Amino acid sequence: MRQALLLFTLLAFVLAGCNGGTVDQHALDNDSESIDSLACEGALLAGEIANTASLTNFSRVHAGELYTRAANFEDALSTRPTTPGIEKAVRAEAKKAGRIAALFDQLAADPSNPALAAKLEPQFTKQGGCT
Amino acid sequence: MKIFQVALGILAAIGGFVDIGDLVFNSAAGATFGYQLLWVVVIGVIGIIVYSEMCGRIAAISKKAVFDVVRERVGFKAGLVTLIAAQVVNLMTLAAEVGGVAICLRLLSGLPYRWLILVAVFGLGAVVWITSFDWIERIFGYGGLCMLVFAVAAIKLKPDWGAVAHGFVPHLETKDTLLYFYFAVGLLGAAMTPYEVYFYSSGGIEEEWTEKDLGLNRANAIIGYGLGGFLSFALMIVGGALFLPHGIGPETLGSISLGAQVPLGEIGLLLALIGILFAVGGASIDTLFSGAYNFAQFFGWEWGRYRSPAGAPRFTLGWMVLLVLALGIVMTGVDPVQLTEYAVIFSVVALPLTYLPILLVANDRAYMGRYVNGRLANVLGGIYLVVILAVSLSAIPLMLLTNVGQG
């Protein structure tokens, strides 16, 4: 019984401990990597829409999901307190997340438009520094 | 006829083995470490084969499923701890799988997510209520076969096969050792999730296995989970060949589906989505039944889909309550993919409590007569128990130290 209680306590601890708090260099590095990853996935998705065919519902829903993730990073990094010396970098990362979110917003709004996707693909690539 | 029965078992194993946890951990492991962790899948697949064969044999010979055995061998108190741990993990997994079904439906239809959660829950409830055990296996097994598209995608992506082969040899080529071990533990947990043996052993009793079916049991375990492992390899290779070079960390089912779209186009995407839908749907039913089986077996209630709902009322009520609880969890808006990561790691903690009684009973002549474990099964079972114990002790510390795999 004690083991089960311990399991519950740890679960509550872990779930409650997610998100929020001060942004330090480690958190910034992780978030920056995740934001770049979103942009690179945007480039891949846009490339598929531009060059081959994709299911419209899939493209709209998936671009919308990636938009939400990028927008969440923008919100969090714009407002969360930071450790000294890195605030400028954190806010810059928030702006980058916002630019990526805006690109996803355009893609989700018109997911069956190859010309638009072709225009957005290099912008995603540039934002994420994708290879 | 025997071949047909094996085929059904294989299909059921594919549907049950590659659940949302396997999808996430295998793809993310490939995207983070390339092919370095393929060897862990091999270890996990051998482990689940060893223990599934054992509990299938126990079911065929002693007519007892896993939780009958747990209750009888470890007593009420320790059995209750096992039951609570198993049911917490089961419920988390069920909620994650139901959420996964809704996500797949949304990616296919574009309809609102919360409505699709309701569709998923009512659809699964209707399938379980109306459909026979055999047909559930067929529907979700055949549908789950669409997941083979990831194997084709892996080949089309032209991975470095030398590096792939090297991945089957344990090695460490990263500075992030903790994250490497977190993924290793997660992959092992995803491959050996306890609900698989609860479902497998109870399924053996549902199908009225006898000692004549021991060959069928062995074939189901080896070929079925072997194929499941093959799909896990494919997912990790896609992760390593596509997502890693592009710097993408696949965190959603949509991202994982892109892994089939890029090399195979629209048809690849469609097959991936259908395959994931049926695999995750099959896993929902496996976990749903497992939860109800566990309660019924532990408390000595009538159970089984071969009985009518009125013939096993508390079993029927059990799965209905679990489905409603899962609905409540998913409706809170929790991310199913994140939930499955917690479920997989916490399931690792419950592993020794599940697998130790199986090993003990498989060696007990009072239950098994002349069908007790042979030397190979005991050596492998013992080694895996040590591995499971080590992994279960390190799972939660690794989860906390790596910030749930975020580094």
User: What's at A35, amino acid-wise?
Assistant: I
Q: Which residues touch B398 (CB under 8 Å, ≥6 apart)? A: B178, B181, B182, B185, B345
Are B349 and A11 in contact (CB < 8 Å)?
Answer: no
Tokens of B312: 């096993």
Are A44 and B349 in contact (CB < 8 Å)?
Answer: no
Min CA distance, B10 vs chain A (Å)? Answer: 30
Are B257 and A11 in contact (CB < 8 Å)?
Answer: no
- Cβ-nearest to B81 among A3, A37, A44: A3
Min CA distance, B108 vs chain A (Å)? Answer: 6
What pLDDT, on the 0 to 100 scale, is given for residue A10?
A: 53
Would you tell me which residues 59-118 of chain A have a C-beta closer than 8 angstroms to some C-beta of chain B?
A: 60-62, 65-66, 69
Q: Which residue numbers of B have CB closer than 8 Å to A's CBs?
A: 77, 80-81, 84-85, 88, 106-110, 245-252, 254-255, 257-258, 261-262, 265-266, 269-270, 273, 342, 346, 349, 396, 399-400, 403-404, 406-407
Tokens of B205: 């009793």
Rounded distance between C-alpha atoms, residue B136 and residue B31, angstroms = 33
Q: In this model, does residue A1 exceed pLDDT 50?
A: no
DSSP string, B21-34: HHHHHHHHHHHHHT
Residue B239: its H or E element: none
DSSP string, B256-275: HHHHHHHHHHHHHHHHHHHH
Q: What is the CATH number of domain B2-248+279-401?
A: 1.20.1740.10
- Cβ-nearest to A10 among B251, B396, B406: B396
CA distances B116 to B95, B127, B302, Å, are 14, 16, 33
Q: List, in sequence order, the alpha helices (H) in B239-252.
A: 244-246
Rounded distance between C-alpha atoms, residue B5 and residue B213, angstroms = 10
Nearest CA in chain A to B400: A14
- Cβ-nearest to B247 among A7, A66, A131: A131
- Is residue A114 a contact partner of residue A46, using CB atoms and an 8 Å limit? no
- Is residue B255 a contact partner of residue B107, using CB atoms and an 8 Å limit? no
Of A70, A64, A15, A61, the residue nearest A40 (C-alpha):
A70
Q: Where are the beta strands (DSSP E) in B199-313?
A: none
- Residue extents of the structural domains in chain B: 2-248+279-401
Query: Per the structure, how many domains does chain A have?
Result: 1
Sign of the dihedral through C-alpha A15, B38, B272, B243: positive
Of B24, B374, B353, the residue nearest B190 (C-alpha):
B24
CA distances B78 to B30, B82, B319, B359, Å, are 38, 6, 23, 16
Q: Which residues of A touch B81 (CB under 8 A)?
A: 1, 3-4
Of B290, B123, B328, B79, the residue nearest B193 (C-alpha):
B290
User: What's at A47, amino acid-wise?
Assistant: G
A34-48: pLDDT as tens digits: 999 999 999 999 999
Digit-by-digit pLDDT tens for chain B (407 residues) are 555 565 556 655 665 668 887 888 899 999 999 999 999 999 999 999 999 999 999 999 999 888 888 888 888 888 888 888 889 989 999 999 999 999 999 999 999 999 999 999 999 999 999 888 778 877 888 888 899 999 999 999 999 999 999 999 998 888 789 999 999 988 888 888 888 888 888 888 888 899 999 998 998 888 888 888 999 999 999 999 999 999 999 989 999 999 999 999 999 999 999 999 999 998 999 899 999 999 999 998 888 877 777 788 999 999 999 999 999 999 999 999 888 878 877 787 778 888 888 999 999 999 899 999 999 999 999 999 999 888 888 888 888 888 877 76
Opening angle at CA B72, ends B67 and B77, nearest 5: 85
CA distances A24 to A83, A85, A88, B222, Å, are 5, 10, 12, 48
- Cβ-nearest to A65 among B108, B249, B252: B252
Rounded distance between C-alpha atoms, residue B94 and residue B368, angstroms = 32
Local structure of A90: helix, strand or coil:
helix
Partner B contacted by A121 (CB < 8 A): no
Local structure of A23: helix, strand or coil:
strand
Residue B213: its H or E element: none
Looking up tokens 């089984």 gives B304
Tokens of B107: 């990616």
- Cβ-nearest to B246 among A15, A44, A69: A44
Residue B210: its H or E element: none
Q: What is the ipTM of this complex?
A: 0.87
Which residue, among B91, B176, B258, B346, would best test binding to A if mutated, counting the most A CBs under 10 Å from its CB?
A: B258
Counting Cα atoms < 13 Å in the Cβ hemisphere of B84 gives: 13
Q: Which residues touch A65 (CB under 8 Å, ≥6 apart)? A: B252, B254
- DSSP secondary structure code for residue B157 in this structure: T
- Cβ-nearest to A55 among B266, B346, B349: B266
Rounded distance between C-alpha atoms, residue B22 and residue B303, angstroms = 29
Min CA distance, A20 vs chain B (Å)? Answer: 13
- DSSP secondary structure code for residue B374 in this structure: -
Rounded distance between C-alpha atoms, residue B113 and residue B331, angstroms = 10
Rounded distance between C-alpha atoms, residue B261 and residue A52, angstroms = 10
Rounded distance between C-alpha atoms, residue B82 and residue B66, angstroms = 11
Counting Cα atoms < 13 Å in the Cβ hemisphere of A14 gives: 24
Are A45 and B258 in contact (CB < 8 Å)?
Answer: yes
In a domain, A15, yes or no: no
Give me the helix-helix angle, B225-238 and B253-299, nearest 10°.
150
- Is residue B285 a contact partner of residue B127, using CB atoms and an 8 Å limit? yes
Min CA distance, A41 vs chain B (Å)? Answer: 6
Min CA distance, A36 vs chain B (Å)? Answer: 8
CA distances B97 to A70, B17, B91, B92, B327, Å, are 25, 12, 10, 9, 11
CA distances B363 to B107, B175, B200, B375, Å, are 48, 43, 19, 10
Are A52 and B266 in contact (CB < 8 Å)?
Answer: yes
Q: Which residues of B touch A64 (CB under 8 A)?
A: none
Q: The domain containing residue A112 runs over which residues?
A: 45-131
What pLDDT, on the 0 to 100 scale, is given for residue A6?
A: 52
What pLDDT, on the 0 to 100 scale, is given for residue A16?
A: 45
Rounded distance between C-alpha atoms, residue B174 and residue B186, angstroms = 17
In a domain, A58, yes or no: yes
Give the number of beta-carbon pairs within 8 Å between A and B: 97
A50-96: pLDDT as tens digits: 988 789 999 999 999 999 999 999 999 999 999 999 999 999 999 99
In a domain, A83, yes or no: yes
Rounded distance between C-alpha atoms, residue A119 and residue B86, angstroms = 50
Nearest CA in chain B to A34: B249
